[in-house]
Structure 1
Amino acid sequence: MGFLALFIVALMPVLKTLIVTAVGLFLALEKVDILGATARHHLNNLVFFVFTPALVSSNLAETITMSSLIKLWFMPVNILLTFLIGSALGWVLVKVLRTPQHLHGLVIGCCAAGNLGNLLLIIIPAVCEENDSPFGDSSTCSTNGEAYASLSMAIGAVFIWTYVYNIVRAYGIRSTGSTINRTNSANGGEIVTESSLEESLLSKDIETDHSHDTPQPIDSIENDEKVDLLFSSSMHGTNFSASSCTRVPMRKKIKQQLKIWAERMNLKMMFAPSTIATIVGLAIGATSPLRKLLIGDSAPLRVIDTSTSMIGDASIPAMTLIVGANLLKGLQRSEVGLGIIIGVQVVRYIAMPLLGILVVKAAVHFGLVGSDSLYQFVLLLQYALPTAMSMGTITQLFEVGERDCSVIMLWNYAVAALALTLWSTYYLWSVS
């Protein structure tokens, strides 16, 4: 296949996504107001609690078996690498550009979390259905591609709501003060200053074991520096404690650090609806008796699977419309400078794809990935995708950087029209 034919194959699914996104943007205009703030809020809840879990569970149950799960073992590792590499590059970016503290989590999250869900579910089947597709029979390609995209979406959702969510949470500092937002979506939560948290934990430990001693004061370390050092130390494997300057045993320092991180992490969000749906879908798909009971034309309880699948089909258009509607805020003014916008694009569309090629080619060379060209294409594509749509939801939960996130996402998806098409074309050429 020539470059032009490959370019057209790669362009079609991207254009479909952008058209639906443009429709969402139009519906959110003040003169139309079909997808206004209230409507987006309710639709977002439907997508988060109903549509996406239904899509994840039904697709995994239908396409993933125990044998295919073993075959695709490298995909979760590859997705984890995309998050780790992206967050590392994002952390370097905020340091180089001296990004405002309350935007650190947003920028790092935008660099780390790629759209591993609905975009792949649009792109892969569309590529398979093209007459000039390099992946052979369209039926087999679509079946395998749906399995790859479904697993990618499920694993990506787990990492977003465990890894990225807690990064944004750690940096979730309101612009009015250096406080960590402890807001829980279920109970309204509370706001606890990081310094008061660490001081209370430290004083409690010292008073318990050394009630006769006078604890020495903690050095004055700015809250934003503590967050930066804690995050950087977790990435580099160093054991940093904000209270390391106090003369307490190492065991106490470790205990204090664990308490602080336990306070920061919202364990409930680790079991978000999409995460639970992933567990259910994998359990059904990998367990033969359950699979025979629910999946297939002759399954006695197939109506449950078909109903779930029908609900899940609404996820992709609804989520894409929400992204378009949220991009309307990106047309307004924000604190995000041109350097941050360009930096995120460089990370997501230049640095990440180049590093992804090295990772996937190394995996192929050492026999970690089979010879399936479609599988290799999906692994490569996971490094070249725009920012995950869930970043908008996460910033709304913490009420930090919502408009700034919209600006970054607006440019991210605008640049994706060209960047994603070009990288997809190159990937198609390299694996065909």
Structure 2
Amino acid sequence: MKLLDLFITSSIPVVKILVITAIGFYLALDRVNILNQDARKHLNNIVFYVFSPSLVGSSLSETITYESMVKMWFMPINVLLTFIIGSFLGWIVIKITKPPSHLHGIIVGCCAAGNLGNMPLIIIPAICNEKGSPFGDPETCEKYGLGYIALSMAVGAIYIWTYVYNLMRMLANPDRETPILGTSSTMPLIPPKHVEEQFGTWSKIKQRVCSAAEKINLRTIFAPSTIAALIALAIGLVPTLRKLLVGNTAPLRVLGESVSLLGEGAIPLLTLIVGGNLLRGLRGSGIQRSVILGVVVARYVLLPITGVLIVQGAHHLGLVTSEPLYQFVLLLQYVVPPAMNLGTITQLFGSGESECSVILFWTYALASVSLTVWPTFFMWLVA
């Protein structure tokens, strides 16, 4: 594939997202006032409870089987590594740029959570259908590529709504430190020996465990997208359920098709919301340029380099098959822009929407460069 053809192929999905973002921006203007703050809040709730779970469930149930799961066992580990390494890079960005404390969660979230859904869903079919693609027959390439992406998207949704959501929540609302004993002068003084007996080692451990449990919102561990992913995995892995719900001859295929139809609305709605939030951000988010630059460097320079080392190392150790397309998808997980769901999370928190939208806007604007240069190198590496 020629470099110019690859540039055009890689830029198309980014341009599509930027166009839809611009529409959302226009709808949020005061003179239009269709996508105002209340409308965005309600849309976020619909995306959270209906569209995102439908997208995850339909994509995963249609493509995942027991055989494919055995083949792709390393992918959940790979996605988890992108989140952990991204979190560490986000922490470095915070230490270097020293932003306000309410931005810490947003920065870590943008560095940790990548867009493992709609971006690869557009990129992979486009590359597969391009002339001179190194991945062979377009139909076979697209079929297996969408299967890889479906698992990647489902696993990513689970990590976002368990790991990233709670991490952003804790960083956005850190608990204030309070003394164990009262400091008021009216409080009776307690001898140190008595204090030691009352708050022994076991009590301290118990107290810390309870404190950590309070910080984690257990409801989000079973968020709608997580539940949808688990149900879809059951449908894909249990032959009886798969025959009932998946395929043109399935007796209950209307249920699966209805869920798939709902899922198709997730991507444009998420992108419109980001565009609407961007208006507020441009009016005065006050975010430092160094923060945006730090997130861009973390996601588009440091994370892809780390990804190359990890995937190539796993292949050398025999943990990853030699199939070029599979390796390409694993590498692509390290170079995608931040997840659109981060805008939904900040909207649910009611804080940081404008700053998050500004970061998302610039990272997606620069994604056309990143998603051209790195995929070119990845294809050369795996071919």
Where does residue 117 of structure 1 map in the other structure? 117
Match of 1:195 in 2: 177
Map Cα deviations across residues 119-157 of structure 1 (whole Å, 9 max, x no partner).
111222222222332222221111111111111111111
1:421 paired residue number: 372
- Any conservation in 2 of the 1:294–1:302 contact (CA below 8 Å)? yes
Q: What SS does the corresponding residue of 1:136 show, helix, strand or coil?
A: coil
Aligned position for 1:241: none
Specify the alignment match of 2:239 in structure 1: 288
Aligned to 1:299: 250
In 2, Cα distance between equivalents of 1:48 and 1:131: 38
2:137 aligned partner: 137
TM superposition shift of 1:396: 2.3
CA distance in 2, matches of 1:212, 1:418: 63
Distance in 2, matches of 1:128 and 1:22, equals 28
The 5 Å alignment of 1:34-183 reads 34-173=34-173, 180=174
Report the more deviating stretch, 75-84 or 29-38.
29-38
In structure 2, distance between residues paired with 1:131 and 1:30 = 46
Q: Describe the shift of the 1:155–1:211 C-alpha distance in structure 2 as closer, same or farther (beyond 3 A).
A: farther
Q: Which amino acid aligns with 1:63?
A: T
Match of 1:380 among 303, 328, 331: 331
| Aligned ranges 1:405-416 → 2 under 5 Å | 405-416=356-367
Distance in 2, Cα, partners of 1:214 & 1:251? 15
Work out the number of aligned pairs and report it.
376
Letter paired with 1:101: S
Offset of residue 401 of structure 1:
2.1
Does residue 30 (structure 1) correspond to residue 30 (structure 2)? The answer is: yes
Matches within 5 A, 1:320-331: 320-331=271-282
CA deviation digits over 1:238-279, x for unaligned, max 9?
A: xxxxxxxx9954333321211110010000011110000000
8 Å Cα contact 2:270-2:341 kept in structure 1: no
Cα distance in 2 for partners of 1:3, 1:294 equals 42
Structure 2 distance, partners of 1:279, 1:138, is 30
Partner of 2:293: 342
Report the CA distance between 1:108 and its aligned residue: 1.2
Q: 1:27 to 1:400 in 2, by over 3 A?
A: closer
Is the partner of 1:88 in helix, strand or coil?
A: helix
SS at match of 1:215: helix
- The SS at the match of 1:385 is coil
The amino acid across from 2:289 in the alignment is: L
SS state at 1:103 partner: helix
C-alpha distance in structure 2 between counterparts of 1:327 and 1:123, whole Å: 24
Judge which range, 406-415 or 381-390, deviates more. 406-415
Once residues 377 and 27 of structure 1 are traced to their aligned partners in structure 2, the CA distance between those partners, rounded to angstroms, is 37
Structure 1 position 329, deviation (Å): 2.5
**Structure 1 alignment gaps of length 5 or more:** 174-179, 181-192, 202-209, 217-245
Alignment of 1:2-17 (within 5 A): 2-17=2-17
Partner of 1:231: none
Query: Residues 24 and 321 of structure 1 are in contact (CA less than 8 Å); yes or no, is this contact kept in structure 2?
Result: yes
Q: One-letter code of the match for 1:403?
A: S
* Letter aligned with residue 260 of structure 2: S
**Mean CA deviation greater in 346-355 or 416-425:** 416-425
Sequence identity, in percent? 53
TM score, norm. by length of structure 1: 0.82
- Confirm or deny that 1:215 pairs with 2:195: yes
Counterpart AA for 2:145: G
Give the residue type in structure 1 aligned to 2:195: P
Q: Is the 8 A contact 2:14 2:364 kept in 1?
A: no
Distance in 2 between residues matched to 1:35 and 1:421, nearest whole Å: 32
Task: Note the alpha carbon deviations across 1:222-249, whole angstroms, 9 max, x for none.
Answer: xxxxxxxxxxxxxxxxxxxxxxxx9954
Q: What code does the residue aligned with 1:27 have?
A: L
Structure 1 counterpart of 2:304: 353
Q: Is the 8 A contact 2:281 2:358 kept in 1?
A: yes
Alpha-carbon offset, residue 290 of structure 1: 0.5
Instruction: Give the 3 Å change call, closer, same or farther, for CA 279–200 of structure 1 in structure 2.
Output: farther
Q: Which moved more, 1:397-406 or 1:112-121?
A: 397-406
Quote how far apart the aligned CAs of 1:28 are: 2.3
Tell me how far apart the structure 2 counterparts of residues 101 and 10 of structure 1 sit (CA, whole Å).
36
Q: Which amino acid aligns with 1:61?
A: S
Alignment of 1:222-237 (within 5 A): none
Q: State the Cα deviation string for residues 98-122 of structure 1 (Å, max 9, x = none).
A: 2222221221111111111121112
State the alpha-carbon separation in 1 of the partners of residues 30 and 326 from structure 2: 43
Aligned partners of 1:44 and 1:396: how far apart in 2? 7
| Unaligned 5+ runs, structure 2 | 183-189
Number of the residue aligned with 2:267: 316
Deviation for aligned residue 1:212: 10
**Structure 1 position 251 matched with structure 2 position 233:** no
Matches of 2:38 and 2:177, distance apart in 1: 36
> Contact 1:330–1:410 (CA<8 Å) still a contact in 2?
no
The RMSD of aligned alpha carbons is 2.3
